[in-house]
Amino acid sequence: MTENRVNGTVSVTAPQHSVEGFAKEFLRELNFGQGVPLSRASVNDQYLALARTVREYLMARWMETLRRQRDAHAKTVAYLSAEYLLGRQLDNALIATDLTEIVEEALTSLGIDLATLREQEVEPGLGNGGLGRLAACFVDSLATMSVPCIGYGIRYEYGIFRQTFVDGWQVEQPDTWLSLGAPWEFPHPEDAVTVHFGGSTETYTDDDGVTRSRWVPAWDVLGVPYNYMVPGYQNGRVNTLRLWSARATKAFDLQIFNSGDYAEAVRAQTFAENISKVLYPEDSTPQGKELRLQQQYFFVACSIRDFLDGLPADFDLHRLPDVVMFQLNDTHPVIGVPELMRILVDEKKIAWDEAWAITQKCFAYTCHTLLPEALEVWPVELLGRLLPRHLEIIYRINDEFLAQVRQAYPNDELRLRRMSIIAEHPERSVRMAFLATIAGAKVNGVAALHSQLLRDNVLPDFSELWPDKFTNVTNGVTPRRFVRLANPALSDLITDAIGPGWVTDLERLREMEPLADDAEFRERFRAVKLANKQRLAGVLATRDGIELRTDAMLDVMVKRLHEYKRQTLKVLHIVSLYERIISGELDPASIPPRVFAFGAKAAPGYKMAKQIIGLINHVGATVNADPRVQGALTVVFPPNYNVTLAEKLIPAADLSEQISLAGKEASGTGNMKFALNGALTIGTDDGANVEIRELVGDDNFFLFGLLEPQVAEIQAVGYDPSKYYEENATLRRAIDLIASGTFSPDDKRVFEPIVSNLLTEDRFLALADFQAYLDAQERVDVAYRDVEGWTRSAILNVARSGFFSSDRSMWDYIDRIWHSQPVVAR
Ligand code: 26W
């Protein structure tokens, strides 16, 4: 890659897009970048050289994209997310630049196997689950759609923990993703931002005699940005992901060091670096830890400052809404609202009302949950101590808001108390979802049902006050990573049938519909699925020493471990099948053989979730070892489920388990990935399952279970799970088998907490939905026996799931919330 300076304009030409060109660049990078000759290069040397060579093919596009967006004065989406679950970067960069074949050949010519280098990459696990992966899909789509976007987040030194199993129990290991080098990041210490904390505020009279407040912080840290490329798919575009890393402003105190107190000398450094040290592994219950709030303010303060500093010096900030929309990925970045107000009022001396008008047009809020315990609230005590000026600003925002409510609903003190950003009980605290809703131009849920429940149950008062503020944007997934990259066999089959356009226009999959009736095409479709199963078997054998049979139905449940997602219900299905086989009631040969595959991490502090992981592994060990089952049932649970494993598991799946209690899963995105890869869904009418079922058709979806209104009804009148235990013999025998210690001979009562919870509380109605679930599973067995019928349904699932592209989600955000434009003109 070389820069040419011709008559003042700088153009950067990418290296040659050829086997020879790539081999030359790679060797130069290995020798001069890695500093080793090929003969002595380690696999890691070769991988790092490969990554740096590939990124050179993206550089020119990156610079070109930034230049065009600057010249177009385009409106930018600043996506603020505490999490990005990016997955491996190499293959995504290769398909985006259409270099895969060239690189394969170039490396082969040098005696190197691309597959070996591919396995060297450690994925950046900078997220927990759905929310983090969605952010990654969204930035991929915006780059491919040539829409200006900067993804802002945190460069955690340690991402989501690496999960290991010890005797079937989850044990967390630190995620040392940076230890072997990070070739995909570009540090820019010269753009560091100083972020303040603590201290107090004071009022003063400025030169124009205006009384003002200002923050007198106590300490500060430096935020150093690391840029990551977000390549568009074969459109010459590369957007930027800018992740912040914390450093001490004063790294090392030489005086103290010379005085011999070495630890004290670096204390400031360690203290500061702690801020971006590690990702909080919770994905639903905030721990309310001070460090978490420090993380949130740190990256938001860096991001807003960074964006404002990027504007022309004479930019009129009243026009800020024309050039940016800060999208809040849940409430985690909402402290950005008082931060922008602080800058506009305290630093830029803009009048409060004008500043508020600007702020309300610059922010929008996406809510990703329905669980009340997942809604963040920060104690006023903590917020006031860490960010005293921001608390003052929040109080004023709240006062002015309540004045508005009082006007709209005179003498309705209860409503004022319900809607106040400040909750009085159990302790005075700030309700971040309320702040986000009041400040946001728009508030959206992530699936039609979710957005409705958000209006009706989570924020009803606000929906009543501002009905037009609420909208829906159903989630989506990027077809580049989750079909084109993860399932090349299916991609080739589709492209063969309808051309390559579907990769960037997924609704084109509809053109495959007639092929569902084509026996030859169905044959080829089954061959693809079998090949993906064999590939998965190879991966699980080397990765975990797991033996996977490929001649059985692959029934997959992969997602974070949470009681509302009801992995317990899946276990009850397996145990009831096992119990009926060993009791002789069920002939194992009478059901299609099944492999039950699980993938799930539990938040380390979530005891019940870790219990359930233990139960799944203990049931699996027993069932897999029991000759009476004759292979009819196999349980596999590869540890450390992540994006890279998902890319191998999902294309191999026959059945997708989406069995959360109706009204609890905001959307789900795994459900979409399975449908797009030709798996049939067994699921409840929850989250985006509803929209998947509506699009693929009832005949191609195994629906079961209580509907959300019925759940609300049952929970209102009171639910006694033991009633189902008494009345349903199959259920009782399954639960009794667990309680008997059959799956835990060395510690018979170890799963007692799960059993007693199911019989006494069962908050997510697993017992109430048990029989309907079993009946649906029997429908699955019958359907699976009809090989042609199953394949036909699987093809229709693919053909009718184009709606679930994250590109479509982005068009919805653009139309309903952002009103930004792609910068297309070449
Ligand atoms: C502070 C603790 C915490 C951390 C993360 C609370 C809540 C979260 C996330 C909002 C949880 C999450 O990932 N939610 C998932 O978001 C997906 C993307 O919209 C949805 O598809 C899932 O249904 C939802 O559970």
Residue owning the nearest CA to atom 2 of ligand 1: 286
DSSP state of 817: I
What is the distance in angstroms between the CA of the first residue and the CA of the last residue of the chain?
A: 20
Q: Please tell me if the CB atom of residue 286 comes closer than 6 angstroms to any atom of ligand 1.
A: yes
Among 154, 156, 283, 477, which is best to mutate for testing ligand 1, by the most ligand atoms less than 8 A from CB? 283
Q: Please tell me if the CB atom of residue 446 comes closer than 6 angstroms to any atom of ligand 1.
A: yes
Among 284, 562, 806, 810, which is best to mutate for testing ligand 1, by the most ligand atoms less than 8 A from CB? 284
Q: Please tell me if the CB atom of residue 686 comes closer than 6 angstroms to any atom of ligand 1.
A: no
Q: What is the pLDDT of residues 293-351, one digit of tens each?
A: 999 999 999 999 999 999 999 999 999 999 999 999 999 999 999 999 999 999 999 99
Q: Please tell me if the CB atom of residue 134 comes closer than 6 angstroms to any atom of ligand 1.
A: yes
SS3 assignment for 270-298? HHHHHHHCECCCCCCCCCCCHHHHHHHHH
Ramachandran angles phi, psi of 802, nearest 5°: -60, -30
CA of 558 to the centre of ligand 1 (A): 15
Residue owning the nearest CA to atom 4 of ligand 1: 283
Residue 525 has pLDDT above 70, yes or no: yes
For Cα atoms 280, 281, 284, give the angle at the middle one, nearest 5 degrees. Answer: 100
Amino acid at the residue 478: T
Cβ(663)–Cβ(653) below 8 Å: no
- Of 501, 504, 493, 562, the C-alpha closest to 529 is 493
Q: What is the pLDDT of residues 624-668, one digit of tens each?
A: 999 999 889 999 999 999 999 999 999 999 999 999 999 999 999
Residue owning the nearest CA to atom 5 of ligand 1: 283
Residue owning the nearest CA to atom 22 of ligand 1: 668
Task: Kindly indicate the confidence band of residue 4, based on its pLDDT and cuts at 50, 70 and 90.
Answer: low
Task: Kindly indicate the confidence band of residue 14, based on its pLDDT and cuts at 50, 70 and 90.
Answer: confident
Q: How far apart are CA 436 and CA 782, in angstroms?
A: 48
**180's tokens:** 């072997």
Instruction: Tell me if residue 601 falls in helix, strand or coil.
Output: coil
Print burial letters for 324-363: b (CB count within 10 Å at least 16), e (below 16): bbbbbbbbbbbbbbbbbbbbbbbeeebeeeebbebbbebb
Amino acid at the residue 524: R
Partners of 808 in the beta sheet?
Answer: none
CA of 131 to the centre of ligand 1 (A): 5
Residue 537 has pLDDT above 60, yes or no: yes
Residue 826 has pLDDT above 60, yes or no: no
Task: Look at residue 268 in the predicted model and tell me its pLDDT.
Answer: 76
Domain spanning 488-804: which superfamily?
Answer: Glycogen Phosphorylase B; (3.40.50.2000)
Element at 192 (helix H, strand E): none
- By the 10 Å C-beta count (0-12 exposed, 13-18 middle, 19+ buried), 291 is classed as middle
Q: Please tell me if the CB atom of residue 140 comes closer than 6 angstroms to any atom of ligand 1.
A: no
- Better-predicted residue by pLDDT, 62 or 73: 62
Q: How far apart are CA 40 and CA 54, in angstroms?
A: 21
Q: How far apart are CA 820 and CA 150, in angstroms?
A: 13
Q: Please tell me if the CB atom of residue 91 comes closer than 6 angstroms to any atom of ligand 1.
A: no
Q: What is the pLDDT of residues 663-712, one digit of tens each?
A: 999 999 999 999 999 999 999 999 999 999 999 999 999 999 999 999 99
CA of 285 to the centre of ligand 1 (A): 10
Q: Please tell me if the CB atom of residue 451 comes closer than 6 angstroms to any atom of ligand 1.
A: no
Atom of ligand 1 nearest to the CA of 366: 19
Any idea where the domains of the chain sit in the sequence?
Answer: 14-72+96-122, 76-88+125-376+432-474, 488-804
Q: Please tell me if the CB atom of residue 377 comes closer than 6 angstroms to any atom of ligand 1.
A: no
Cβ(241)–Cβ(84) below 8 Å: yes
Give the pTM. 0.97
DSSP per position, 663-720: TT-S--SHHHHHHHTTPEEEE-S-TTHHHHHHHH-GGGEEE-S--HHHHHHHHHH---
Half-sphere exposure of residue 403, counting CA atoms within 13 Å on the CB side? Answer: 6
Give the mean pLDDT of 89-103: 98
Instruction: Tell me if residue 598 falls in helix, strand or coil.
Output: strand
Q: Please tell me if the CB atom of residue 201 comes closer than 6 angstroms to any atom of ligand 1.
A: no
Provide CATH code, domain 76-88+125-376+432-474: 3.40.50.2000
CA of 183 to the centre of ligand 1 (A): 29
Among 128, 131, 691, which is best to mutate for testing ligand 1, by the most ligand atoms less than 8 A from CB? 131
Residue 257 has pLDDT above 90, yes or no: no
Q: Please tell me if the CB atom of residue 368 comes closer than 6 angstroms to any atom of ligand 1.
A: yes
CA of 668 to the centre of ligand 1 (A): 9
Cβ(163)–Cβ(601) below 8 Å: yes
Q: Please tell me if the CB atom of residue 284 comes closer than 6 angstroms to any atom of ligand 1.
A: yes
Task: Look at residue 266 in the predicted model and tell me its pLDDT.
Answer: 78
Give the mean pLDDT of 214-228: 97
Tokens 């609903």 identify what position? 409
Q: What is the pLDDT of residues 775-805, one digit of tens each?
A: 999 999 999 999 999 999 999 999 999 999 9
Q: What is the pLDDT of residues 401-460, one digit of tens each?
A: 999 999 999 999 999 999 999 999 899 999 999 999 999 999 999 999 999 999 999 999
Instruction: Give me the active site residues, please.
Output: 368, 559-560, 565, 669, 673
Q: Report in angstroms the alpha-carbon separations of 508 from 258, 371, 494.
A: 69, 36, 10
Pairing of strands 149-154, 238-248: parallel
Task: Look at residue 824 in the predicted model and tell me its pLDDT.
Answer: 76
User: For the chain, how many helices (H) and strands (E)?
Assistant: 33, 27
Q: Please tell me if the CB atom of residue 282 comes closer than 6 angstroms to any atom of ligand 1.
A: yes
**513's tokens:** 């519909």
Residue owning the nearest CA to atom 17 of ligand 1: 130
Rg (CA), the chain: 28
Print burial letters for 456-486: b (CB count within 10 Å at least 16), e (below 16): eebbebbbebeeebbbbbbbbbbbbbbbbbb
| Within this chain, domains 76-88+125-376+432-474 and 488-804 share the same CATH topology | yes
Q: How far apart are CA 63 and CA 422, in angstroms?
A: 45
Task: Look at residue 289 in the predicted model and tell me its pLDDT.
Answer: 87
Question: What is the rounded average pLDDT for all residues in the chain?
Answer: 96
Residue owning the nearest CA to atom 8 of ligand 1: 283
Task: Kindly indicate the confidence band of residue 491, based on its pLDDT and cuts at 50, 70 and 90.
Answer: very high
Q: Please tell me if the CB atom of residue 121 comes closer than 6 angstroms to any atom of ligand 1.
A: no
Ramachandran angles phi, psi of 485, nearest 5°: -90, -45
Task: Look at residue 11 in the predicted model and tell me its pLDDT.
Answer: 65
CA of 374 to the centre of ligand 1 (A): 8
Atom of ligand 1 nearest to the CA of 376: 1
Please report, to the nearest 10 degrees, the dihedral formed by the alpha carbons of residues 539, 542, 547, 550 taken in order: 30
Half-sphere exposure of residue 424, counting CA atoms within 13 Å on the CB side? Answer: 6
Q: Please tell me if the CB atom of residue 151 comes closer than 6 angstroms to any atom of ligand 1.
A: no
Atom of ligand 1 nearest to the CA of 285: 2
Atom of ligand 1 nearest to the CA of 374: 6
Task: Kindly indicate the confidence band of residue 364, based on its pLDDT and cuts at 50, 70 and 90.
Answer: very high
Q: Cα 199 from chain centroid?
A: 35
Among 80, 294, 335, 369, which is best to mutate for testing ligand 1, by the most ligand atoms less than 8 A from CB? 369
Task: Look at residue 417 in the predicted model and tell me its pLDDT.
Answer: 97
Q: Report in angstroms the alpha-carbon separations of 199 from 196, 206, 276, 315, 390.
A: 9, 21, 21, 31, 12
Q: Please tell me if the CB atom of residue 275 comes closer than 6 angstroms to any atom of ligand 1.
A: no
Partners of 656 in the beta sheet?
Answer: 556, 681
CA of 754 to the centre of ligand 1 (A): 24
Atom of ligand 1 nearest to the CA of 687: 23
Give the mean pLDDT of 386-398: 98
Q: What percent of the chain has pLDDT over 70?
A: 98
Helix ranges, 454-588 (H): 460-465, 479, 488-498, 519-544, 567-582
